[in-house]
A = this chain, B = another copy of it.
Amino acid sequence: MTAYDPQTDKLKEECGVYAVYNIENAAALTALGLHALQHRGQEACGIATFDGEDFHVRRALGLVDNTFSKASVMEQLPGSRAIGHNRYSTSGTPVLRNVQPLFADLSFGGLALAHNGNLTNAYGLRQDLVKSGALFQSTSDTEVIVHLIARSKEEKFEARVVDALKQVEGAYSLVLMTRKKIMGVRDPHGVRPLILGKLNDGYILASESCALDIVGAEYVRDIQPGELITIDEKGMRSSFPFAKKPSRFCIFEYIYFARPDSFMEDKSIYEMRKEIGAELARENPVEGADLIVPVPDSGVPAAIGYAQESGVPFELGIIRNHYVGRTFIEPTDKIRNLGVKLKHNSNRKLLAGKNVVLVDDSIVRGTTSKKIVEMVRDAGAKEVHMRISSPPSKHSCFYGIDTPEDSELLAHNHSPEEIADIIKADSVSYISLDGLYRAVGQARRNSDDPQYCDACFSGEYPIFLTDREEKHDKMKISRLKEASK
């Protein structure tokens, strides 16, 4: 249930967002909420508050509790309103100026903003803005939105926001804070999640429901695709200012990104994963299996589902060391080869002589799968079968998930049989796309107009990839490299 680690060959979720309106100690609640959303971004985090007079902000590299567990920091973030953000950086060393929430001093007052998702026409918009004299302080696509709000000819703040968002394409769940209000908005396709909660007289917006539970807040509902929520002293209002588009929620949230204790669209993520595991067992049984072993920790719910459906015992055949925080120094090749043991160890006695079914949620490059299979074989397993609770990952995501190029995705170029050869497994099978849709409650995938965004499996991108098509990569952002310690 934890997020990406390069050593485990998982994709990275882009971000988590959080907002609090009218609850005492809003920064502390936001810190707790971001902590619960830590799996959605571990490289940087930030909180902005408004205390009725001034805005306050703290942005930092590293995990939430590195910074926001310090009394000295929290004292500097007063107020009953706040927004917060977790992120990872898409390339190179993360730099502080890209960390959100962004803040701007606009003509009508201050604005803080945090974004989960990715815009697909940001480069083009940026190019135009820079030509007309706009100064960008970051390289993030999110700043484009702030400039568009700043330059909007509309008078009212909400109208400015709508004006700005009508110009952008891509996936976004945003939270915004001004001197008067908190706002939340999801893009018309609803690719990224955003939910609404309530605590006493206050409101909370969050990427996932687990971030409500941590503070004892009540889950109210999901924000709808294309919905704009405004919360101020007059209460909460909802509007749908954009042209209606078909819903395309990211199906990978069910498979891997979201925490198993979260709800999305009224469904328990844990139960969805067990159901996916059960469907996987029905589609891809293993004859003579002795044990169902999850690849920890994300594979556990699907493995439980697989085990219950197949009647084969669920066992912890691989033990994870929970203390891995950073990459170890590995000064010689001899030690470097020990790599994978840093995170996992096999449960030798259990595996020796057995027909083992490993359950994992995805294979990206396959590097870790290969090590895991090797470790299980070294422990004496007779057969090792890999079962994957997602369809083959064949295409890059441009809507907020950091993915290698298509060509680096193992399944882009190889069949399951070839992959089995590569990772030295006796067999490798994936759940089918239709099986996945069945498991999450659809009769079948509607092939003309799929109910979810499944572009990473199908290659069918629901939102136009403008920057990519227009080859905006020819346009260079002047590279400023910030020296770090």
- Chain A positions within 8 Å of B, measured between CB atoms, are 1-2, 24-25, 28-29, 31-32, 35-36, 38-39, 42, 53-58, 63-66, 68-74, 76-77, 96, 103-107, 109-110, 130-137, 143, 146-147, 150-152, 179, 210, 213-216, 259-261, 263, 268, 270-271, 297, 300-301, 304, 308, 313-316, 319, 321-332, 334-335, 337-338, 341-342, 345-350, 477-485
User: Which 5 residue pairs are nearest across A and B when measured between Cβ atoms?
Assistant: A133-B151, A110-B478, A76-B483, A58-B483, A268-B349
Q: Are A319 and B261 CB-contacts (below 8 A) given A133-B151, A328-B32, A349-B271?
A: yes
Residues of B within 8 A of A325 (CB): 63, 65-66, 325
Residues of B within 8 A of A135 (CB): 104-106, 134-135, 137, 143, 146-147, 150
A54 is contacted by which of B32, B57, B96, B479 (Cβ under 8 Å)? B479
Contact, CB under 8 Å: A338 / B304: no
This chain: copies in complex: 4
Contact, CB under 8 Å: B335 / A316: no
Contact, CB under 8 Å: B110 / A134: no
Query: With contacts A300-B316, A314-B314 known, what are 11 further pairs, Cβ within 8 A?
Result: A1-B322, A25-B331, A54-B481, A69-B329, A107-B133, A110-B479, A134-B134, A135-B147, A213-B341, A259-B345, A260-B316
Residues of B within 8 A of A105 (CB): 130, 135-136, 477-478, 480
Alpha-carbon distance A479/B63, docked complex (angstroms): 27
Q: List 6 A-B contacts (CB under 8 A).
A: A36-B321, A76-B484, A77-B483, A96-B96, A133-B134, A270-B350
Contact, CB under 8 Å: B65 / A480: no
Q: Which residue of B lies closest to A313 (CB)?
A: B308
Q: In angstroms, how far is the closest chain B Cβ from the Cβ of A125?
A: 14
A103 is contacted by which of B107, B146, B270, B480 (Cβ under 8 Å)? B480
Contact, CB under 8 Å: A328 / B268: no
